[in-house]
Structure 1
Amino acid sequence: MSTAVNSDPTTGEAGTPAAPHPAPSASAPSDPSADARLLADWRPDDDAFWAAGGARIARRNLVHSVLSEHIGFSVWSLWSVLVLFLGPEYGIDAAGKFTLTALPTALGAFLRLPYTFAVARFGGRNWTVFSALLLLVPTVLAGIVLTPGVSYGTLLAVACVAGVGGGNFASSMANINAFYPQRLKGWALGVNAGGGNLGVPVVQLIGLLVLATAGAAHPRLVPLVYLPLIVLAALGAALRMDNLPAHRGDRGALRDVVREPHSWVMSLLYIGTFGSFIGFGFAFGQVLQVQFHDQFDTPVKAAGLTFLGPLLGSLVRPVGGRMADRWGGARVTLATFAAMAAGTGTVLYASRVHSLPLFLLGFTALFVLSGVGNGSTYKMIPAVFQARARAAVEAGTDPEQAERDARRRSSALIGLAGAVGAFGGVLVNLAFRQSFLITASGDAAYAAFLAVYAVCSAVTWAVYLSPRALRPTGGPAAGGTRI
């Protein structure tokens, strides 16, 4: 059970013809009215259709999807900033703060599956509007309860509710996946995810600004900044996004992908890439304060460096998708995991010798590499089902039906892998919590991360790149489809 993987930006797969799609048509897609916002016809893999206006419509939906997802990520990672404001007057130790950041990560991971299929049930535009407005709940609650004397249980409950922001990623990615042709999916999904991921460093920059100006006594200013932004994101989605009829009736797709062995392989790889990104993004500020407390004795000093890693990791995610479009998702993913193992080794050594410059260098590399890996692994997902579609067409299945099945299963796996991968962020925070609680350092956590990257490298090679690798269709890789 494995698949050799390499794709080309023009053919979709190296050495293979482009994905099956209907014969080119010069007819332009109908741009719906502001009232309907339902596209009656959508054929992105039809080159003439795409050039006649499909690209413009897809780009418009991508822009507003990114904006909404960006705000969602900011709300999801809100407590990675707020814990820096929780001084001695709140009575919460380091382990308690790691729990506050783990809870929204966990709820966000759990919600990614229902959010993915909400797109199929309600439509991409409709769900984007609703999910954006839902972000008002954790934002308003945080603005209300953040004051000395509040119980730790109340903070845990409010932090957990912020997990709704994590669900936005899955619905946004499933929606955009259906808007773009196979040859551009790596780029489109990379831009969509990268723009959303930027919500992590942006909320951290806002936290830094509040700390540097108003001071640590005013944490409620951070969530209040987002109230008008949430309303604007929902309004933009309502006025400018569209629903796709192809999303209707896709509720059986999860059952299909759960039975697909490659779904669980991809979920494991996404734990290693996205789990690292979101876990490190939530925990890094606290790690600096605890491990290098002699140099980060104030929240402002820690916040001044916290945003850099998530910023770089977000910016390079589209680069990872583009690299996968050109050289193949598995090749880029394998190189990424190997480099992440080296970066983790650097962090572990720096921790033991208490070298802050080397520690920052290693962690920055981990953020950047996790961003590249996020883009490359998500490119692999639709490629797996395109290989299935080709095999089905060769066996006599109607090309249009095969293409529709590939799209709905890709969207379902994006949701499944996104949910499982996000739980990796929970594990990162729990690993840090236990490591600092038991050993007073992060060394045990770094050793665990190193082992995970070694396993992910081995799995990527064995399943997708080794000479004995198999295609998703079950045939030998030699001379066949590579993803």
Structure 2
Amino acid sequence: MTAPTTTAPSRKGGRWIEQWDPEDEGFWKQTGWHIARRNLAFSVLSEHIGFSVWTLWSVLVLFMGPEYGIDAAGKFFLVSMATLVGAVVRVPYTFAVARFGGRNWTVVAASLLLLPTGAAFWVMEPGTSYTTFLLCALLTGVGGGNFASSMTNINGFFPLRRKGWALGLNAGGGNIGVPVVQLIGLAVIGAAGGPRLLLGIYLPLVVLSAVCAFLFMDNLAPVRGDTGAVKEAVRDPHTWIMAFLYLGSFGSFIGYSFAFGLVLQTQFGRTPLQAASITFIGPLLGSLIRPVGGALADRFGGARITLGNFVAMGAATAVILVASVRESLTLFTAAFIALFVLTGLGNGSTYKMIPGIFQAKALAQGLGGEEAAAYGRRLSGAAMGLIGAVGALGGLGINMAFRQSFQAVGSGTAAFVAFLVCYAACFAVTWAVYLRRVTPRPTGPADAEPAPRRSFAQV
């Protein structure tokens, strides 16, 4: 039976869809797919610009030569503070979708990007105090919040069987904002332009994303005002387990995105143009591969893909360690780019696990059909913001680790040792919680041996 849907401007805020059932095949083919695809497209645009603004300082620090009077440790601290705010604001941004509606909040979130972009445009010149630069870097953190609200919103539009693909595409399209701003920065540096030119390019793009969200996106009434879901998600241990795993994958992606150019400049003596000509490659490939990670998780199970991915991330980090000790720029760069690709795969597979875990819990509790699917959407939507916030804090940890490593030993080698330990811990947690064979207690005759089963193996 096809569920009815209406898009009506009657509510305050406009464009509300009152009924939504993507798990209904008839509804999905006739109506749902077209609406979901349109919202996904403009969600990607808004999130893309948000990521670009969030990571502006990964490019702006490349412009900051000796005349700015800021050393490498000071630059790492600047990008760390942008990462920190981007992580913290993800929590309220997630709640904002349920409070105001996905479309309405996307308009607000996109418009807020004018503040950090305009502020940086105003102060970006030698002689500006470090405190002023730090405040501007903190402001760019609002761009990091766009990810949480966008993912929470899009999660509600798609059925479980398409979530890996949809969330991967949404996040991947947003993540590409990182290499795009770095590519534009490379072009500006290559053309001997200043940082204000880069910022001036983004101001109209911010306006464009806000206008498109206002004109073409919708709010889903069924996800509004469900504060109980947030409380349940906070109490559920799987929220925090997945947050730890996402810290290992996305925390690595965003942390390395901010730090890669600075590491090349500081450890290998690259010029701004040389660093910028390489920096964008890793984030670009990591962003493009994220939907592939989601699609692989749809087919083989997110837990399996995530487990293998952490093994590969550990191997790539070991190669980076060798290259760092030997001071081999070629090997270091190749391994670092490979690590970026793996972070993208892991981002896609871990996010696919989230709705699958909560739906599996619903089925285990005796729920079925649309009831189980609705439970999964409800809890996973609330959990995603918390998981995304903790994951982004991994980026803060990476940049602070680099800052300490360069201060202590003059290279990033010590930091990479810490990252290798983190990936080993992520591997162990993934296996122990989601893939370890569990033998249930026998309920039949005493001589009957229960067959072992995997816990959440298909999520």
CA distance in 2, matches of 1:53, 1:398: 24
Aligned amino acid, residue 336 of structure 1:
N
CA distance in 1, matches of 2:428, 2:174: 30
Q: Label 1:307 to 1:30 Cα distance change in 2 as closer, same or farther (>3 A).
A: same
Q: Label 1:266 to 1:469 Cα distance change in 2 as closer, same or farther (>3 A).
A: farther
Aligned amino acid, residue 40 of structure 2:
L
1:391-402 map, 5 Å: 391-392=364-365, 394=366, 400-402=370-372
Q: What is the deviation of 1:57?
A: 0.2
Matching residue within 406, 424, 428 for 1:436: 406
Indicate the residue corresponding to 1:323 in structure 2.
296
Matching residue within 453, 457, 462 for 2:423: 453
CA distance in 1, matches of 2:82, 2:313: 25
Indicate the residue corresponding to 2:202 in structure 1.
226
Whether 2:79 is the aligned partner of 1:101: answer yes
Q: What is the deviation of 1:264?
A: 1.1
Matching residue within 235, 243, 263 for 1:287: 263
Could you tell me whether the CA contact under 8 Å between 2:3 and 2:20 is conserved in 1?
no
Could you tell me whether the CA contact under 8 Å between 1:28 and 1:54 is conserved in 2?
no
Aligned length, in residue pairs: 447
Indicate the residue corresponding to 1:410 in structure 2.
380
Could you tell me whether the CA contact under 8 Å between 2:252 and 2:395 is conserved in 1?
yes
Matching residue within 148, 153, 159 for 1:181: 159
1:290-369 map, 5 Å: 290-293=266-269, 296=270, 298-369=271-342
Runs of 4+ aligned structure 1 residues displaced above 4 Å come to 31-35, 397-402
Whether 2:250 is the aligned partner of 1:277: answer no
Whether 2:111 is the aligned partner of 1:133: answer yes
Could you tell me whether the CA contact under 8 Å between 1:463 and 1:469 is conserved in 2?
no
Whether 2:207 is the aligned partner of 1:237: answer no
CA distance in 1, matches of 2:85, 2:454: 44
1:371-382 map, 5 Å: 371-382=344-355
CA distance in 1, matches of 2:281, 2:455: 42
Indicate the residue corresponding to 2:138 in structure 1.
160
Listed as ranges, the gaps of 5+ residues in structure 2 are 441-449
Q: What is the deviation of 1:480?
A: 7.2
CA distance in 1, matches of 2:304, 2:362: 22
1:249-260 map, 5 Å: 249-260=225-236
Listed as ranges, the gaps of 5+ residues in structure 1 are 1-24
Identity of aligned residues (%): 60
Whether 2:453 is the aligned partner of 1:478: answer yes
CA distance in 2, matches of 1:73, 1:212: 23
Give CA-to-partner distance per residue, 1:26-56, whole Å, 9 cap, x none: 3563354698311111000000000011100
User: TM-score when scaled to structure 1?
Assistant: 0.90
Indicate the residue corresponding to 2:45 in structure 1.
67
Where relative contact order (Cα < 8 A, 6+ residues apart) is larger, the structure is: 1
Could you tell me whether the CA contact under 8 Å between 2:437 and 2:454 is conserved in 1?
no
Could you tell me whether the CA contact under 8 Å between 1:246 and 1:404 is conserved in 2?
no
Could you tell me whether the CA contact under 8 Å between 1:105 and 1:425 is conserved in 2?
yes
Give CA-to-partner distance per residue, 1:159-178, whole Å, 9 cap, x none: 11000000000000000000
Indicate the residue corresponding to 1:370 in structure 2.
343
1:10-89 map, 5 Å: 25-26=1-2, 29-32=5-8, 36-89=14-67
Aligned amino acid, residue 351 of structure 1:
S
Q: CA-atom RMSD, angstroms?
A: 1.7
CA distance in 2, matches of 1:286, 1:406: 41
Q: What is the deviation of 1:404?
A: 2.9
Q: What is the deviation of 1:391?
A: 2.5
Give CA-to-partner distance per residue, 1:345-382, whole Å, 9 cap, x none: 00000011111111011101110000000000000000
Indicate the residue corresponding to 2:446 in structure 1.
none
Could you tell me whether the CA contact under 8 Å between 2:319 and 2:335 is conserved in 1?
yes
